[in-house]
Amino acid sequence: MEKEPIKLILDTDEVLDAFNLERTNGSAILDEWLSTSYALTELEETILAEKRQRLLIEGYFWNEEELKMHFLAAIFDMIRFDEKHKVKLFYERPLKGVINGYSFHVVCDVMLATPKGVSSPKKPYFFLQEFKKQRGKEQDEEAQLLAAMLVAQYENQNSFPVYGCYLQGKNWTFATLHDKNYCLSQQFDATKKEDLYQIIYALKHLKLLILKQLAS
């Protein structure tokens, strides 16, 4: 009789240990992603200035949904990720998988994927997990991100990296998973102009990296 898969606790150390992953703070893939810059339009700079100021004043008091609606949605709309039949932005989508005898079930706050039909994700490339600490609520956003990236890596069955990011309020941490190399960036504080611009550069470059994978 086939063994039932083990439901792995979504704890970062548990996931790293179960899949024998190395967690580092730098790699050529991560560096390539984050070492770019782009010229921003006057309109983009105006939007970013307004959103950054609002995040600085109100962000501490927002819950996860308010952070998404007041800040994240405007940022992603600015990037214009969607490319017909190639890349589409999805919110609050479940992702399930069984890998090496372990089962995962994650709700992805944000996912970039090749669409299936009109409105379903098919092949994922990037995940963002959002976290705003609330009293009496414990969750490990990094573990949720890593679990989603592992499922994508397993399902995509190719040699390309999977990209990710998790938010802790105003702080963004970017991640890449390639083979067994799991790398994290420094934190970027979206209330600081220089850091926010670097976040935008990374998201703009992400779209190009995904389109490059699709063309290979």
Task: State the pLDDT at residue 135.
Answer: 40
Task: State the pLDDT at residue 5.
Answer: 85
| CA–CA dist 81, 114 (Å, integer) | 11
* Three-state secondary structure of 85-124: CCEEEEEEEEEEEEECCEEEEEEEEEEEEEEECCCEEEEE
Render pLDDT for 117-154 as a digit per residue (tens, 0 to 9): 878 999 999 999 987 554 444 568 899 999 999 999 99
Spans of the chain below 70 pLDDT: 1-2, 132-139
Task: State the pLDDT at residue 59.
Answer: 92
Is the Cβ–Cβ distance between 201 and 37 less than 8 Å? yes
Q: Which among 127, 177, 210, 159 has a CA at the least distance from the CA of 16?
A: 177
Residues whose CB is less than 8 angstroms from the CB of residue 88 and which lie 6 or more positions away in sequence, other chains included: 81, 82, 112, 113, 114, 115, 121
Q: How far is CA 68 from CA 1, 77, 108, 133, 178, in A?
A: 45, 12, 13, 14, 28
- Tell me the domain boundaries of the chain: 6-215
Q: In the CATH scheme, what is the code of domain 6-215?
A: 3.90.1570
Task: State the pLDDT at residue 140.
Answer: 86
Task: State the pLDDT at residue 137.
Answer: 46
The residues pairing with 110 across neighbouring beta strands, listed in sequence order, are 91, 128
Q: E strands along 1-87, which residues?
A: 6-7, 22-24
Task: State the pLDDT at residue 41.
Answer: 95
Task: State the pLDDT at residue 214.
Answer: 92
